[in-house]
Every structure is written in structure tokens, then in C-alpha cells.
């Protein structure tokens, strides 16, 4: 029983990332009808927002302390980050420590503007072109984005730690009545899950309870009629693209402490997120979220020793296997609607 709970918890953090990326993909697909292969790259850019901020905070200047020597006998050089210099040592080190959560604030405007620029600058011209062209141009864009990041940040993963308070693990066992230390789980991953639940809730609430969201939903159902009613639906959809980019970006920012970001992390997630979207049903937002968590949890169950000894390598192929089975038995995915992408 404790093992089962542990695996469900393990699945949640990957599932959250899948769900957030898939949610953004579905938002873009549902509103603009574009299959965005650059969405993984946006996720990666989000993670690099966190990296950039922590790098900016740790830019430091050198002072030479004549009284001390380093192990070679030279005068000791002390690196002091500028933030510590400006805000005092305590505040400064706290800023450095909290760079990942702070990057959330910093990344939202950046990601929204990246999304809007992408939509206005490139994707706008592809609405009337076939889906294959959209896939290809966004695929090209993804290559360009990831190569630019590779050029500036290098090919190696860059560790970006979470704040000290959140390092370490949380013991669920006493709460659930098991022996101590049978269900322990890193705190940051719990936060990641809570954060993504919050974002998903916010997106749904935004669509459900605001006038803007109502117009967007109406536009998803019948774009032409909404346009005829005198609403500038294109502008609203552009903003939705920005929001979708921000959702993926935030998923990336928060994911940075879990896995050190590298330039191809977006592509790795993209392939799986597409599988998630298709399993959930193209164009269905709840479907994308549900499928994201479902596949994340399935993947973590398949990685247990029991599963891998019974069927070797099951952890590598489980997601694809499930996707194939679902697509063949339920062609529209779990919650897909009729008439979406069925040309």
C-alpha cells in the first residue's frame, strides 16, 4: 500500500509537467487551430528564465583579502555577488536562494510577450496553410530556439537549485499510519504539483468565469459568428496564445530544480506531451489535464522494480503502448469531441 502511494506521488510531478504543457498545446489548438511543435521549446525557455535569473543574481565582483591565503599561497580572492553588495548580505543571499520562485514573476511577462510575438510574427501567416505546414514551421522554430539557447548557455545541463527551505523531503508515513520513512517525498516536487494544480485551476477559472474567457470559449465553438457579432476574436486568440506560452513557461521555471535544464529538454517533453494531447483528445482541455496525470502516474508505476523485472523495459514504452491502445479503441482520445482534426 505504501509503495502504491509512493508511486502515485512519483507520477504526479512528471504528470504535472505533462498536464501543463498539454494544456497549453490544447489551448493553442482549440483557439487557433494550430498544431504547435514549438511548445516544448517554450517550456525550455521558461526553465532558462530561471537559469538566467539565478545567473544574474550571482554576478559578482572580486575583492582581494590580503590577510588570508588560498591553498596555493596567493592572497584569497573573495567573490561578492552584487545583490549582496546592494541589498546587504542577508537580503542578497536570500534573493540568490529564492531565485527560482522569483523567476516566476520575472518569466510571466517574458513568456506572454514571446507567445504574442510568435503568434503575430509567424504563426498568424499559417492559419490558412495545411496542418503539415504548421507542424513543419513550428518544428523549424523549435530547432532555432533550442540552438540559440545552446549557443548562449552551452550544451550541458545547468543545475538550478530550489530555495534551501524546500530542499529535503517530507515524510507522509505518520500521517497515513505507516512506519516512519516508508513514504517520503521531496518537498519541491510537492510544491510543483500544488503549483501546477493552481495554474490549471486558474486557467479553467479564467475561461469559465470571466467575460474574456466566455468570449474565447464562444470563439472556440464558432469563430465566425463571434466575429460577426463585432468582437475582435483574433486579438483575444492572440492573448490566449500568450497565456498558453506563459503556462508552458511557468511549468518550465518550476521544473528547473527537478531536472537541471539543458537545451533539448523541450524536445524530450514535446513528443510525450503530444502523445498526452492525443490520448486526452484533441481540443479537450480537461482531457489533456487528465491524460497528463494519468500517463505520468502510469509511467511511474511501470518504473517500479516489480514491473521492470516482469516485463523488461516496460517503463520505456508504457506511454506509447497506452497511446496506441487508446487511439485504436477510442479514436478521438479519452474526451475528444467530434469533428476536431478529422479531415
Partner 1 sequence: MLGLNKRDFTLLLIVVALAMLAPFLLNPFPEGSAMAQFNAGYPDLMQKFVIYGIFAIGFNILFGLTGYLSFGHAAFLGVGSYSCVWMFKLLGYNVMPGILLSILTSGIFAYLIGVVSLRRSGIYFSILTLAFAQMSFALAYSVLSNPKFNLTNGETGLQVYSNDPQWLHSAGKPDLPHLFGLSMRATHEMQLGAWQFQFNVGYYLCAIIMVLAFYLSIRIFRSPFGMMLRAVKSNNTRMYYTGLNARPYTLAAFVISGMYAGLAGGLLSAVDPLAGAERMQWTASGEVVLMTILGGTGTLIGPVLGSGLIKYFENIFSKINDSVLHSWFSFLPDGMEDFMVTIVHPFVGKGWHLTLGVLFMLIVIFLPGGLVQGGQKIRGLFTGRTEAEQAQADANQSTPAE
User: Is 121 or 177 the residue whose CB approaches partner 1 more closely?
Assistant: 121
User: Is 228 or 324 the residue whose CB approaches partner 1 more closely?
Assistant: 324
User: Is 29 or 192 the residue whose CB approaches partner 1 more closely?
Assistant: 29
Least distance from C-beta 288 to partner 1, angstroms? 14
User: Is 105 or 321 the residue whose CB approaches partner 1 more closely?
Assistant: 321
H or E, element range at 331? none
**Residue/partner pairs of 231-238 with CB below 8 Å, 24 or more apart:** 236/212, 237/31, 237/32, 237/119, 238/116, 238/119, 238/120
Least distance from C-beta 273 to partner 1, angstroms? 11
d(CA 162, CA 188): 7
Report the interface residues with partner 1, using CB under 8 A.
35, 122, 125, 129, 131-133, 135-137, 139-144, 147-148, 150-151, 267, 271, 274-275, 278, 282, 312-313, 316-317, 320-321, 323-324, 327-328, 331, 341-343
Least distance from C-beta 321 to partner 1, angstroms? 7
User: Is 143 or 197 the residue whose CB approaches partner 1 more closely?
Assistant: 143
Helix (H, G, I), strand (E, B) or coil at 260: coil
Instruction: Let me know: does 183 contact 171? Beta carbons within 8 Å.
Output: yes
The gap from C-alpha 331 to its chain's centroid, in whole angstroms, comes to 27
Least distance from C-beta 133 to partner 1, angstroms? 6
Least distance from C-beta 23 to partner 1, angstroms? 17
Question: Which distant-in-sequence residues (6+ apart) come within 8 Å of 249 by Cβ?
Answer: 42, 43, 45, 46, 49, 107, 108, 110, 111, 114
Least distance from C-beta 183 to partner 1, angstroms? 29
The runs of H, that is alpha helices, within the chain are 2-32, 39-57, 82-87, 89-97, 99-121, 131-153, 173-176, 187-209, 211-221, 223-228, 233-255, 265-280, 285-302, 305-310, 314-329
Question: Which distant-in-sequence residues (6+ apart) come within 8 Å of 322 by Cβ?
Answer: 279, 295, 298
User: Is 124 or 223 the residue whose CB approaches partner 1 more closely?
Assistant: 124
Least distance from C-beta 205 to partner 1, angstroms? 29
User: Is 155 or 198 the residue whose CB approaches partner 1 more closely?
Assistant: 155
Amino acid at each position: 500500500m505504501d509503495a502504491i502511494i509512493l508511486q502515485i506521488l512519483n507520477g504526479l510531478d512528471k504528470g504535472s509537467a505533462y498536464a501543463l504543457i498539454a494544456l497549453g498545446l490544447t489551448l493553442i489548438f482549440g483557439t487557433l487551430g494550430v498544431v504547435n511543435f514549438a511548445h516544448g521549446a517554450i517550456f525550455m525557455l521558461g526553465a532558462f528564465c530561471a537559469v538566467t535569473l539565478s545567473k544574474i543574481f550571482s554576478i559578482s565582483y572580486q575583492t582581494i583579502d590580503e590577510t588570508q591565503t588560498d591553498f596555493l599561497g596567493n592572497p584569497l580572492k573573495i567573490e561578492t555577488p552584487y545583490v549582496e553588495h546592494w541589498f546587504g548580505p542577508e537580503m542578497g543571499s536570500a534573493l540568490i536562494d529564492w531565485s527560482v520562485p522569483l523567476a516566476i514573476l520575472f518569466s510571466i511577462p517574458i513568456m506572454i510577450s514571446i507567445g504574442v510575438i510568435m503568434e503575430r510574427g509567424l504563426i498568424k501567416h499559417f492559419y490558412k496553410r495545411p496542418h503539415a505546414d504548421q507542424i513543419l514551421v513550428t518544428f523549424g522554430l523549435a530547432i532555432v530556439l533550442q540552438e540559440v539557447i545552446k549557443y548562449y548557455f552551452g550544451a550541458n545541463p545547468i543545475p538550478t537549485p530550489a530555495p534551501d527551505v524546500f530542499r529535503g523531503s517530507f515524510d507522509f508515513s505518520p500521517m497515513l499510519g505507516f512506519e516512519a520513512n516508508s513514504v517520503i517525498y521531496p518537498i519541491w516536487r510537492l510544491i510543483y504539483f500544488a503549483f501546477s494544480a493552481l495554474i490549471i485551476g486558474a486557467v479553467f477559472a479564467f475561461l469559465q468565469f470571466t467575460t474574456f474567457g466566455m468570449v474565447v470559449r464562444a470563439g472556440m465553438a464558432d469563430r465566425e459568428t463571434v466575429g460577426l457579432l463585432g468582437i475582435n476574436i483574433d486579438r483575444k486568440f492572440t492573448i490566449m496564445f500568450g497565456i498558453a506560452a506563459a503556462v508552458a513557461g511557468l511549468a518550465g521555471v518550476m521544473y528547473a530544480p527537478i531536472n537541471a535544464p539543458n537545451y533539448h529538454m523541450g524536445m524530450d517533453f514535446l513528443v510525450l506531451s503530444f502523445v498526452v494531447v492525443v490520448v486526452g483528445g484533441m481540443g479537450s482541455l480537461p482531457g489533456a489535464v487528465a491524460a497528463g496525470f494519468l500517463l505520468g502516474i502510469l509511467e511511474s508505476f511501470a518504473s517500479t522494480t516489480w514491473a521492470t523485472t516482469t516485463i523488461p523495459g516496460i517503463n520505456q514504452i508504457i506511454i506509447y503502448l497506452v497511446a496506441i491502445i487508446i487511439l485504436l479503441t477510442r479514436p478521438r482520445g479519452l474526451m475528444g469531441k467530434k469533428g476536431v482534426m478529422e479531415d
